[in-house]
Homo-oligomer: A and B are copies of this chain.
Amino acid sequence: MSEQRIIRPTPISGFPEWTPEIRSVEQRWLDHIRAGFERYGFGSVETPSVEPLDVLMAKGETSNEVYTLHRLQEDNAADDSEARLGLHFDLTVPFARYAAQHFNELVFPFKRYQIQRVWRGERPQEGRFREFTQCDIDVINPDAVPLHFDAELPQVVHEVLGGLDLPPWTLRLNNRKVLQGVYSGLGVTDPLPVLRAVDKLHKIGADGVRQILVDELGMDTDQARVCLDLAEINGHDTSVVDEVAKLGVSSDLLTEGLDELAFTLDGLRELPTNTVLADLSIARGLDYYTGTVYEATFDEDPGYGSIVAGGRYADLAGSFIRRSLPGVGISIGFTRIFAKLVAEGRVLGGPLSPARVLVVVPSAERRGEARATAARLRARGIATEMYHQADKVKKQVRYASRKGIGHVWFPPFADGHPHEVKDLATGTQKETDPDTWHPTEQ
C-alpha cells in the first residue's frame, strides 16, 4: 500500500446519501411517483440546476438561502457569464422561467411534472436538508385553468403516495379567497398581513395571533375573534361552508371562495374518507397563491412540517413574460418523507442487485455455455448476472443470496445434461430451459 495521506470520508450534514439497499427503495418510490404522474398525462420537464440570480430573485423576498457558484480558479475569469449563477431552491421558479422562455413551443393546457434535486443553504435540522428531491406537478394555461384541476392534483398525489406504505397523512385544503373574503367583509383593506399572522397559528397559538391582529394590525377584538374563529373551522365535507356562513360576514370574494372550496371538496369525494380535510387555518402565508391551497402533514407528527404543499396562482411567470399564465400546482417533499422513514428504521432495504438470477460458471470449460445462457435470459428481458470469479459453486450461491438475487442458474455441467435453476427462497432446484423460464414473483 502506498504511504499517501488518507482522507477519512465523513457524511456532509444536510446532504443525504443512501447505502445501496436503501437507494434501491428510493429508486422504486421515485419510479412509482413518476408512473403515477404519467398515468394522468403529466409530461417530464427538467431544467438546469442553476438559474441566473436575477431569475431566482425575481419575486423579491425569498426566505430561501441560495447557493451561488464560483470557479475554484477564479483567476480564470475571462468569461464571467457564470458569475451570477445560483442553484435553484425550488422547482417553481425554474418552471416559471421555462414556461416564459419556451412559451411558443408549449401546447396548452401544459401539464408538466418535474422531479429534481433542489438546494438550500439552510442550517440542517430534522426534516430540513441542503440538497433534496422534490416531485412537482403543475397545470398552466393562458388566461384560465379549469377548477377541475384543483381536485385532480391532490387525487394524483393521493394515488402515488398511497402506493408507498406511508404512515397516515392528511391533506388539508383551503381557499385563500375564503380567508381574504372574510377579512375584506370585516373591512380589512390589506388582507396579506392578516393572512400571514393567521398562518402562524400553529406556531404561536391563538393568543399570539390575536396580539398581532390587534396590536400590530389595528383590528378590534371582535374582528380578531372572527379571524380566529374562522381558523378553527375544519371538516371532511362541505358542512364547513355552512360554518363559515355562520360567522355572519359576507363579501363577493367570500362567496366565490366558498363556491370554489365546495367544488374542489366535491371533486375529491372519491378519495378515502378522512384523508382530505377542509381546514380554514391553512394559509401558505409566504407563497403566491390566490385560490386553492394545499398542505399535508403526517398525522402522527404534524410538527415535522408539510410533506406536500401547493395551490393555485393567478400568474406563474409575470416576472418573465407579459402574458397571463395562471395555474395550479402541488409538490411532494420527497426527501423529507423518505429520510424520516429511513431514520426511523421504517424503510425495509431492497435487494442489492436488480438481477433476478445469477448464472454460475461450473468450470472454465463451460464458461461459453454459461455466457450464452445469460445472453438468452437477458434477451428475454430477465436481469441476469454472471459470476466471473473462479469460486466454488457454494460461494457463488452465497453471493446471490447476499445480493438478494432470487435464483441461481446451473448451466449443463456436461454436454447433453439439462439446465437447472434453484429458487433461493424455497430451496427447490429443478430442470429448466432458458427460453421459457420465468423468475417467481418477488
- Give the residues in chain B near A44, CB-CB below 8 Å: 20, 23-24, 27, 354
A189: interface (CB < 8 Å):
no
Q: How far apart sit A274 and B47, CA to CA, in the bound complex (Å)?
A: 38
**Are B65 and A68 closer than 8 Å at their CB atoms?**
no
- Give the residues in chain B near A384, CB-CB below 8 Å: 39-41
Q: How far apart sit A35 and B385, CA to CA, in the bound complex (Å)?
A: 13
Give A420 Cβ to nearest chain B Cβ, in Å. Answer: 20
Give A303 Cβ to nearest chain B Cβ, in Å. Answer: 23
- Give the residues in chain B near A85, CB-CB below 8 Å: 12
Interface of A is mostly: loop
- Select the stretch in A99-107, A165-173, A238-246, A426-434 that faces chain B: A99-107
Q: How far apart sit A42 and B353, CA to CA, in the bound complex (Å)?
A: 6
Name A45's contact: one of B23, B38, B117, B378 (CB within 8 Å): B23
A336: interface (CB < 8 Å):
no
Number of A residues with CB within 8 Å of any CB on chain B: 109
**Are B109 and A389 closer than 8 Å at their CB atoms?**
yes
- Give the residues in chain B near A1, CB-CB below 8 Å: 318, 322, 324
Q: Which of A67-90 contact B (CB under 8 A)?
A: 67-73, 76, 78-79, 81-82, 85-87
A383: interface (CB < 8 Å):
yes
Q: How far apart sit A102 and B71, CA to CA, in the bound complex (Å)?
A: 30
Name A385's contact: one of B16, B40, B82 (CB within 8 Å): B40
- Select the stretch in A52-60, A179-187, A217-225 that faces chain B: A52-60
Closest to A36 in B: B378
**Chain copies in complex:** 2
A392: interface (CB < 8 Å):
no
**Are A148 and B381 closer than 8 Å at their CB atoms?**
no
Name A146's contact: one of B41, B67, B389 (CB within 8 Å): B389
What 1/0 flags go to A375-390 for Cβ under 8 Å of B?
1001001111110111
Name A41's contact: one of B73, B82, B355 (CB within 8 Å): B355
**Are A41 and B388 closer than 8 Å at their CB atoms?**
no
Q: How far apart sit A10 and B55, CA to CA, in the bound complex (Å)?
A: 10
**Are B320 and A9 closer than 8 Å at their CB atoms?**
yes
Give A330 Cβ to nearest chain B Cβ, in Å. Answer: 16
Q: Which of A1-21 contact B (CB under 8 A)?
A: 1-2, 4-20
**Are A131 and B49 closer than 8 Å at their CB atoms?**
yes
**Are B101 and A71 closer than 8 Å at their CB atoms?**
no
A298: interface (CB < 8 Å):
no
Closest to A355 in B: B41
**Are B49 and A117 closer than 8 Å at their CB atoms?**
yes
Give A24 Cβ to nearest chain B Cβ, in Å. Answer: 6
- Taking A4-B318, A50-B131, A270-B375 as known contacts, 5 extra A-B pairs with beta carbons closer than 8 A to each other, sorted by chain A number, are A1-B318, A39-B382, A39-B383, A49-B49, A53-B72
Give residues in A with beta carbon < 8 Å to B.
Answer: 1-2, 4-20, 23-24, 26-27, 38-55, 58, 65-73, 76, 78-79, 81-82, 85-87, 97-98, 100-102, 105-107, 109, 111-112, 117, 119, 121, 123, 130-131, 141, 146, 148-149, 152, 270, 318-322, 324, 351-355, 358, 375, 378, 381-386, 388-390, 399, 402-403, 405
28 A-B pairs within 8 Å (CB atoms) are namely: A4-B319, A7-B58, A7-B320, A9-B97, A12-B48, A12-B50, A15-B49, A17-B98, A19-B102, A20-B105, A23-B45, A26-B46, A38-B354, A41-B355, A41-B405, A43-B352, A43-B354, A48-B131, A49-B49, A49-B119, A65-B72, A65-B76, A66-B71, A67-B70, A67-B71, A107-B403, A146-B389, A148-B386
User: Across chains A and B, which 10 residue pairs bring their CB atoms closest together, nearest first?
Assistant: A41-B385, A41-B355, A15-B48, A38-B354, A71-B121, A148-B388, A146-B388, A9-B101, A66-B72, A67-B69
